[in-house]
Amino acid sequence: MEKIIEVEGLKKSYGAVEAVRGVDFYVDAGTLFAYLGPNGAGKSTSIDIICTLLKPDAGKVLVDSHLLGREDDKIRSVIGVVFQDSVLDGLLSVRENLMMRGSLYGLSGEKLKRAVEAAAKAAETEDFLERPYGKLSGGQRRRADIARALVNTPKILFLDEPTTGLDPQTRQSVWETVRRLQKESGMTVFLTTHYMEEAAGADYVAVIDDGLIAAKGTPAQLREQYSSDHLRLVPRDAEALAQALNKEGYTYETEGGVFSLTVKRTLDALPVLKRCEELISGFEVLSGSMEDAFIGITGKEMRN
């Protein structure tokens, strides 16, 4: 598979603070790539460098075969960025904002009009194109932000925490739009997010912590390596079950009358169930999550 982003030995310091300390990763074309890290890990610095907004101290970055620092204009021509904070003018209509954005890419006349209409349709903003951006709801603003990033028909779409602050239903709606765009156009999506259910749907994940890549792999690989499953047992006789678990040397917790054990793999629950079969009235095995894996990798909650 073709590599559309390649990052090697990336470093960036702010005075004595080493924000990025030698980062290496690549992104395959047409994939959804999630770049995760706790606050202060170096995530935003990495993205700002790749998007040509910040000059690195060292390292090599290729974006669609264009070398950062030498072909920055070409890099900007193939990327679209949805920032955490909007950069659109609240007094202008969505259409006016998109027209202004398109003109920065040298588009004009009918070509500009077609580009705006195509971006508006792709991001599902047609119903409020003539409304001032400042009068839109949170979800509508995010769609307008995505449309802005699509005006130049980018090969790579950067989404920097695109659904933060939105209610769950709106988040899902925006995310469905992003997935549809990727599927229909084959666009590469570079995502940062605080929502692990969004990261769980990525093709590949890289976790940065303290300026270095701490782990990378598919969501399934990271869950397998860094998280554990949980076996929950509903006892017939709590005292007898506790004695049996203690005798076998199992570590457990109890809450609301339910016994909870950590198991490395789902299959590891089978011996426990076999030994305790007569002492329980029910059980449940909960698979490790991306949230568990993230904590296992960094030792931190995502939002810390």
Task: Report the distance separating Cα 218 and Cα 197, nearest Å.
Answer: 14
Could you tell me which of 56, 58, 51, 53 has the C-alpha nearest to residue 75? 51
- Quick one: how far is CA 183 from the chain centroid? 17
Task: Report the distance separating Cα 282 and Cα 17, nearest Å.
Answer: 53
3-state helix, strand, coil in the chain (%, to 5): 40, 30, 30
Name 132's Cβ contacts closer than 8 Å, sequence gap at least 6. Answer: 90, 91, 92, 93
pTM of the model: 0.83
Average pLDDT, the chain: 92
Evaluate if residue 252 carries a pLDDT over 90.
Answer: yes
Evaluate if residue 39 carries a pLDDT over 60.
Answer: yes
pLDDT at 299: 84
Evaluate if residue 302 carries a pLDDT over 80.
Answer: no
Average pLDDT over residues 47-54: 96
Instruction: Tell me the pLDDT tens digit for each residue of 217-247.
Output: 999 999 888 988 899 999 999 999 999 999 9
Q: Are 140 and 125 in contact (CB under 8 A)?
A: yes
Task: Report the distance separating Cα 191 and Cα 210, nearest Å.
Answer: 19
Instruction: Tell me the pLDDT tens digit for each residue of 120-145.
Output: 998 999 999 999 999 999 899 999 99
**Please, what's the b/e burial string for 26-43 (b: 16 or more CB within 10 A of its CB; e: otherwise)?**
bbeebbbbbbbbbeebbb
Average pLDDT over residues 163-178: 84
Task: Report the distance separating Cα 50 and Cα 166, nearest Å.
Answer: 26
**Residue type at 18 in one-letter notation:** E
Task: Report the distance separating Cα 212 and Cα 255, nearest Å.
Answer: 38
Evaluate if residue 264 carries a pLDDT over 90.
Answer: no
Q: Cα-Cα-Cα-Cα dihedral of 205, 208, 209, 210, to 10°?
A: 170
Give 10-79 as a DSSP string.
EEEEETTEEEEEEEEEEEETT-EEEEE--TTSSHHHHHHHHTTSS--SEEEEEETTEETTTSHHHHHHHE
